[in-house]
Chains A and B, each alone.
Chain A
């Protein structure tokens, strides 16, 4: 064997060993991840109960089939119980909790609980993913190439401007697409896979599936396209223009070598990691997408199973394991692909441990960030710092210098203006509408004269034929005229006159009169007369009333006879001389004449003519003013977004600093936990916790924040701390005897605070959309209105049948908020990373 061949064989051997090691590491990670999921699922004994129930049902089935039919009833009970106990023992139900969970983990990992339903559903999800990826392959790849070659063109600027749109999850785009193409234009189906008439030919069947695929695939495509194009094009530009590439060219190195070693290697970690994040997002958000498109994939199956409890718990665990497998496969493939493209990976021990997350790439970025920060006069922490708060103050001051630079970016200024408006809106909401009041209204404890599913009033500005607003008149507050005439023997006549101008062309939703009669024994008798603008009087009815009688025109059967029309509301407002079906504008009157039979008796009434438009934002199906929900949605969204991002960032930073400072097993533990976290399907676990343990959205968000603490921010901070740890002042602090806690708290963490700001800003939209995503799955606070909850209510209560405002308003606010933070995040990235600033 020649020396060259020997080197090649050795290299292959090392690569093989590296891949096997990665495979085993990921397998271990997967096992621990699924074990954690099983522990969470079984904390309330749910998995145990199902196993016990399965055994009981099996024995009952045997009994029904003739088992023990020849023995006495007493003997039968004894044998039955003995067998049950033996079977439960064999199933491991009497083992300790950790061992039981380990057994369930094995059963979950080997798909012993999986049913054919799961394998039938998986291709549907894969089909969505596969078709979306093919589209992305042909569009975003070539588009990013084209933009790299035509940097700064109008198209390039357009894509950059649109890239924040990708901060929204696929279901947001999906709902917009449904509103436009299914509900509005009627070109495509709302969802599902099948038409009413299923084609008999294979081609027809395939075309039917394709037609149903268009909208969900379009949603996935839109949620990934802009951000992928932006990221890929940016990194192609950066890495092709690096100084070291020029140097390599000047040195006369072969082009292929330059390409492999100097361009691809630094660029790929970002590109691949970015793609991996997209895939993770796909698996997380596919649940909502499938539920709302009624797409029979594993996401919809998961929601069906988790909502049913009982036997479906096995299905829940199987699907959770499947999610974990898919994530683990993704990471293994990433490692393998990276290895194929850059064989240096795995050659060094350190790289082997870290390659999963492509540390080198992240370090390169952080180096750039640090370079940028040094231009911003970073705080110089000397040996005698005046305390942690001072350090933080200095760091924040330097960060604020960076923030001042944001003024140079119009997109960032736009983002900041939107955020300020949202903050003002939040403050206004909290001050003007107290929490208890908003909850009372949202729980419908407060009755209001509000129409149902009424559009916002401003929509009348764009209409030729104006829709009516709500008119409210009451005899007790003087808006209606009340006249009283006493007769002999205690008789009394009360006339209530409700006069109102009606300058609209549309018909009202309803006309309702609430009577308030006071009497001892004899009920008042009233006569209702409707007087139209042109003078025609119609007697609507005459009847006796109780103390609190309600007269609702739309459901009064007598009224249809009196008006000789099936549409009594139209008949009340129409002018027969009109050729068009539209309301007659003018002054109307409803006269209530009541005869009261007791001297102390009295009569009052409250007239509500429910309009078709209401307020700034319209109303929902439960007559709630949407403006209130949208207003209070702002503090809820900002609270979740900023709170989640802040807690996650600080906790991640503390963990990363501790791991880096202590090193050894502490760092290794933090690292392994971070890897395990990557294979844990966060959203499905959060949903499961909600359905099994707590209906409190804040608990669920806290659970998800805990998972996120071990996510990608931890990796970024760790990389930054690794560099800070090498700085001389840390060594000096050690030399003068500073303790571990002090070094972490006073010297490591403040130094990294400027890195925190862009990370934090970038995380905010993720948490805002997370709350909305959970709400879309019914995982939400029961009383507090949030934008996600309003969208959820709208989607399941017929907003797509003409009430688009109901779903589009909260969706627009969500998009606006997410985009605002994304715009600021992008600008901060450019400011703090000089390599981005250069392009």
Chain B
């Protein structure tokens, strides 16, 4: 997968945000709590943070190269 560090970070950010907002909406009873939504939000949170790590790891190399 050829994503730039920033793309990894942005994707990670959207995923973790989704993983936070969906349960919040379920708790506020704006949307109904379902198996599918719960699992997608968990998967999004989990994946989002790892994408963030990958993004930072590659970004670090970018910055570190100049040292």
Residues of A within 8 A of B (CB): 111, 119-120, 122-124, 126-127, 129-131, 133-134, 136-137, 141-142, 144-145, 148-149, 193, 202, 205-206, 209, 232, 236, 240, 255-256, 259, 263-264, 267-268, 271-272, 275, 279, 325-326, 329-330, 333-334, 337, 340-341, 343
Contact = CB atoms under 8 A, between A and B. Distances in A.
B1 A271 contact: no
Interface in B15-67: 16-17, 19-24, 26-28, 30, 33-35, 38-39, 41-43, 45-61, 63-65, 67
A206 B56 contact: no
B39 to A, nearest CB: 7
Given A119-B35, A123-B23, A133-B19, A267 B43 contact: no
17 contacts: A119-B33, A123-B22, A123-B23, A126-B19, A127-B26, A127-B27, A130-B24, A130-B45, A131-B20, A137-B16, A141-B49, A141-B53, A141-B55, A144-B56, A149-B63, A259-B61, A333-B46
Contacts of A334: 50
Contacts of B38: 119, 122-123, 126
A130 B61 contact: no
B56 A142 contact: yes
A209 B52 CA distance: 27
Given A130-B20, A202-B28, A209-B24, A272 B61 contact: no
B33 A120 contact: yes
Nearest to A210: B24
B12 A209 contact: no
A279 B23 contact: no
A141 B35 contact: no
Given A145-B60, A148-B60, A267-B57, A124 B27 contact: yes
A115 B12 CA distance: 33
A134 B16 contact: yes
Contacts of A271: 53, 57
Given A111-B35, A130-B20, A123 B27 contact: yes
A272 B23 CA distance: 24
A330 B49 CA distance: 12
Nearest to A271: B53
Contact of B23 (A124, A144, A202, A329): A124
B60 to A, nearest CB: 5
Nearest to B18: A130
Contacts of B34: 119
A interface, over-half SS: helix
Which interface residue of A120, A123, A129, A148 has the most chain B CB atoms within 10 A?
A123
B13 A209 contact: no
B28 A137 contact: no
A149 B23 contact: no
Q: Which 9 A-B pairs have the closest CB atoms?
A: A130-B20, A123-B26, A126-B23, A127-B23, A123-B23, A130-B19, A340-B1, A122-B38, A141-B56
Contacts of A240: 60-61, 64
B1 A136 contact: no
Given A205-B28, A255-B65, A329-B43, A149 B60 contact: yes
A361 to B, nearest CB: 13
Nearest to B12: A137
Given A129-B42, A255-B65, A341-B1, A275 B60 contact: no
Chain B's interface size range is 35 or more
Nearest to A343: B1
A134 B21 CA distance: 10
Contact of B54 (A264, A325, A330): A264
A20 to B, nearest CB: 17
A123 B35 CA distance: 10
Given A133-B20, A240-B60, A272-B53, A333 B43 contact: yes
Contacts of B54: 264, 268, 341
A206 B24 contact: yes
Contacts of B50: 272, 275, 333-334, 337
Given A123-B33, A232-B53, A133 B45 contact: yes
A606 to B, nearest CB: 58
Contact of B28 (A131, A134, A206, A267): A206
A137 B52 contact: yes
B33 A236 contact: no
Contact of B53 (A149, A263, A275, A340): A275
Nearest to B29: A205
Which interface residue of B1, B20, B21, B30 has the most chain A CB atoms within 10 A?
B20
Given A127-B27, A206-B24, A330-B46, A232 B56 contact: yes
Given A123-B38, A126-B41, A202-B30, 6 more contacts: A126-B22, A134-B20, A141-B49, A202-B28, A232-B56, A279-B46
B61 to A, nearest CB: 5
A329 B39 contact: yes
A771 to B, nearest CB: 29
A209 B42 contact: no
B64 A264 contact: no
Contacts of A337: 47, 50-51
A11 to B, nearest CB: 12
Which interface residue of A136, A137, A240, A343 has the most chain B CB atoms within 10 A?
A137
Given A127-B27, A271-B53, A333 B65 contact: no
A148 B67 CA distance: 12
Contact of A264 (B13, B20, B57): B57
A122 B16 CA distance: 17
Which interface residue of B12, B23, B39 has the most chain A CB atoms within 10 A?
B23
B56 to A, nearest CB: 5
A145 B33 CA distance: 37
Nearest to B46: A333
Nearest to A126: B23
Nearest to A114: B35
A259 B65 CA distance: 11
Nearest to B4: A256
B28 A209 contact: yes
Contacts of A142: 56
B45 to A, nearest CB: 5
